[in-house]
Amino acid sequence: MTKVFTDGLSFAMPLLIMAIGAIYSEKSGVTNLAIEGFQGFGAFIGSLIAIILMGTMGQSSQAVLYIAMAFAAVGGGIYACLHALLCIRFKANQVISGVVVNILAVALTSFCTSLANTKINGTMSNKFILGVSTRFTIPVISRIPWVGGLFKNMYPFEIIIIVLVIFFWYLMYKTKFGMRLRACGENPQAVDAAGGDVEKTRWAAVIISGALSGIGGICFAYSLLANFSPSIYMGYGYLAIAAMIFGNWGIGTTAIVCMIFGLAKSGGYQLCIFMGLPSSYSDLFLMLPYVLTMILLIFFSKKNHPPKAAGEAWDKGKR
């Protein structure tokens, strides 16, 4: 059971930070299906920096992970500008823009990874080998029955993500910027009438979305995959969007949904091992979060209340 909690948390935390990025974008009024692309491009930039630094700092240096996370946030934020440009500046269809940004990210990062490997290693590989981050256990708390399993064999990035979740929750609900951002997704005309800049607020929200998604991507690369490759585009971005929807665009409720998804994924894998099934069956059990998504969709889709202005291009002359 401890293994279920440990692996569940390591999957839920990157998923949560990506879902919070989606919340920021959609709360501002910009529908964001591009989380998958933000995640992949941010992870690519972070992995590229990690590969370069490993040559001088060593593969076992934890400092490389932290620097890679910072650059992944920058890379994701920069790539998110493309979605913001299409949706906010050129008023393109936000759903189509998200899909295009995702497709472009897959092709662009695969090509750039192969090109970088040719320059660095002399091989035409579309994969950066990163390895798995070290783990640690929090004393005392980890001994608590059942719940203590959440604090055993933790990745360092899990603590960083928890801090970021608290910060971005506070920014969203306790600051003037957060209040204006939420108003942009409900009634942008009122924000404009009050002297606020709807476009700048939406740009900031989408860039934040990209930065947080990039962090989630590099965390997946350093934990579940141990590398950066096209396999990072496995639907985690869409799963984060599903968590946001089932969490009704709230950070607290989305965190609960992400934890459920994480436990479903790790529980399914451990069930496969417990039943003594061949490894080929593990992919079948890893589908549990997606099956759970479809089930939740049936029961909760009619009770969701998305931001009223989400998906609508900002028109200053509209009243």
267-278 pLDDT, tens digit each: 887 777 777 777
Burial class (CB in 10 A: 0-12, 13-18, 19+), 68: buried
% of residues, the chain, pLDDT over 70: 96
Q: Is 95 helix (H, G, I), strand (E, B) or coil?
A: helix
- Rounded mean pLDDT of 32-54? 96
Please write the tens of the pLDDT for every residue from 297-319: 777 767 788 999 999 988 776 66
Rounded Cα–Cα distance for residues 285 and 267 (Å): 9
Is 285's pLDDT higher than 80?
Answer: no
pLDDT of residue 224: 83
Please write the tens of the pLDDT for every residue from 77-128: 999 999 999 999 999 999 999 999 999 999 999 999 999 999 988 888 899 9
pLDDT of residue 101: 97
Structure-model confidence comparison of residues 261 and 279, the more confident one: 261
- Are the C-beta atoms of residues 217 and 28 closer than 8 Å to each other? no
Encoding tokens for residue 294? 């479809």
Confidence of residue 136 (pLDDT cuts 50, 70, 90): confident
pLDDT of residue 280: 67
Residue indicated by tokens 């979605």: 83
Q: What is the mean pLDDT of the chain?
A: 90
Q: Which H or E element spans position 227? A: strand 227-228
pLDDT of residue 268: 81
Range of lowest pLDDT (15-29, 128-142, 294-308): 294-308
Confidence of residue 279 (pLDDT cuts 50, 70, 90): low
Q: Is 145 helix (H, G, I), strand (E, B) or coil?
A: coil
- Are the C-beta atoms of residues 148 and 142 closer than 8 Å to each other? yes
- Rounded mean pLDDT of 167-188? 97
pLDDT of residue 46: 97
Confidence of residue 214 (pLDDT cuts 50, 70, 90): very high
Domain extent listing, the chain: 13-136+149-254
Please write the tens of the pLDDT for every residue from 52-82: 999 888 777 789 999 999 999 999 999 999 9
